[in-house]
Amino acid sequence: MRPLSPLFTAIRATSGWPGPYRLVDIGCGLGYLVRWLAATDALGADVELVGVDLDAALVGEAGRLARAEVLNCRFVHADAFALRQAATVYVSTGVLHHFRGPALDRFFQTQAASPAAAFCHFDIAATRLAPIGAWIFHRARMRHPLGRHDGVVSAQRAHSDETLLRAADVPGIRPLLYEPQRLANPFCTTVRPVIGVRPPLEAPFRLALGRAARHLVGPEYLAQAPR
Ligand SMILES: C[S@@+](CC[C@H](N)C(=O)[O-])C[C@H]1O[C@@H](n2cnc3c(N)ncnc32)[C@H](O)[C@@H]1O
C-alpha cells in the first residue's frame, strides 16, 4: 500500500531499525485499516499490526470482526501514546482534523519523542470539493443523521497542506506530504497522508517509492505554494 509498504521497505533497508516491527493505528475505530492490512498481508509477516482506540466499544467490535475474519492483528483499548510497547510506525485515518492548534503540535511532538522510525497519517484533503464530496459519500453510506452531519463537518475542518507540514516539522523528523493540493487531481484525491521519517530514512523511502516519489514534498514546498 502506497506509501506504507515503501516506508517499511526503507526501514528494513536502513541500519538502526532491526525487525520485527510494529505498526500502531492511532484511533483505529472499527479497525478498517488494520484489518485491511492484515487481510491483504500488505506489509509482510515481520510487521505486527495493532489498532488502538480510547473508545472501548469500537475496539471491542474491531476485535470481534478481526476474529470473525481470522486476521492476524490485535486491538487495544488505550491511549495510543501510553502503550508499553513502542511503535515502529504510527498511522491513523481520519483522525488529524480532530486535533487542532497546540493539540495538533503535541500529536506530532509525542511521536517524534518516541522511538518510532516514522509516521504516516491519512486525513481528508482540504480541497474545495471536499465538503460536497463528503456530503454525497455520507448521504450514500450513512443512515444516521449524526453520521451524515459529522462527515461534512469533518471535511470542513480538514487541515490545509500548510498546517500539516508545519505541525509535523518537529525536531528529529523530516516532514513530507504525499500528493499536496497543487500536485493532486481534486476529483480523485479525497485523503492524503502527511508523513514523518527519521532523516536517514528519507533517501531509501524515496527510492522505494520509485516514480511515485515525485508526489512527495517537504516544507520547502510551502515557500513555492501560493498562500
Ligand atoms: C474519527 S475517529 C477515526 C476512526 C477510524 N480511524 C476510521 O477511520 O474509521 C477518531 C478516533 O480517534 C480516537 N482517539 C483519539 N485520540 C486517541 C488516542 N490518543 N489514542 C487512541 N485513540 C484515540 C477516538 O476515540 C476516535 O474513535
For residue 130, what pLDDT is reported?
75
User: Per-residue b/e over 187-219, b at no fewer than 16 CB within 10 Å?
Assistant: eebbebbbbbbbeebbebbbebbeeebebbbee
Q: What is the mean pLDDT of residues 201-224?
A: 92
Asked whether the bond before 20 is cis by omega within 30 degrees of 0, the reply is: yes
Which residue's CA is minimally distant from atom 23 of ligand 1?
27
Residues in contact with ligand 1 (CB, 6 Å cut-off): 26-30, 32, 52-55, 58, 79-81, 93-95, 98
Report the predicted TM-score, pTM, of the whole model to 2 decimal places.
0.92
Q: Measured from the CA of 58, which atom of ligand 1 is nearest? A: 27
Q: Measured from the CA of 30, which atom of ligand 1 is nearest? A: 9
Hey, what amino acid is at 64?
R
* 123-132, 174-183, 213-222: segment of lowest average pLDDT: 123-132
More confident residue, 2 or 42: 42
Phi, psi of 188 (to 5 degrees): -110, -30
Q: Which three cell numbers stand for residue 160?
A: 490545509
Which residue's CA is minimally distant from atom 15 of ligand 1?
27
Q: Where are the beta strands (DSSP E) in 7-88?
A: 21-26, 47-53, 74-77
Q: At which residue does the C-alpha cell 504516516 appear?
A: 120
Return the best residue to mutate from 54, 121, 146 for the ligand 1 pocket (most ligand atoms within 8 A of CB).
Answer: 54
Most confident of 41-55, 142-156, 175-189: 41-55
Q: Measured from the CA of 95, which atom of ligand 1 is nearest? A: 10
Which residue's CA is minimally distant from atom 9 of ligand 1?
29
Q: Which three cell numbers stand for residue 226?
A: 501560493
Distance between Cα 194 and ligand 1 center (Å):
17
pLDDT of residue 227 exceeding 60: no
List pLDDT tens digits, range 50-100. Answer: 999 999 999 999 999 999 999 999 999 999 999 999 999 999 999 999 999
Task: Read off the pLDDT band of 153 (50, 70, 90).
Answer: confident
Indicate the fold that domain 4-125+161-218 takes in CATH: Rossmann fold (3.40.50)
Distance between Cα 52 and ligand 1 center (Å):
8
For residue 225, what pLDDT is reported?
55
For residue 149, what pLDDT is reported?
79
For residue 226, what pLDDT is reported?
58
For the chain, the average pLDDT equals 92
List pLDDT tens digits, range 24-62. Answer: 999 999 999 999 999 999 999 999 999 999 999 999 999
Q: What percent of the chain has pLDDT over 90?
A: 72
Q: What is the DSSP letter of 125?
A: -
Which residue's CA is minimally distant from atom 14 of ligand 1?
27
pLDDT of residue 123 exceeding 80: yes
Distance between Cα 25 and ligand 1 center (Å):
9
Which residue's CA is minimally distant from atom 11 of ligand 1?
27
For residue 104, what pLDDT is reported?
97
Q: Measured from the CA of 25, which atom of ligand 1 is nearest? A: 6
For residue 49, what pLDDT is reported?
98
For residue 16, what pLDDT is reported?
87
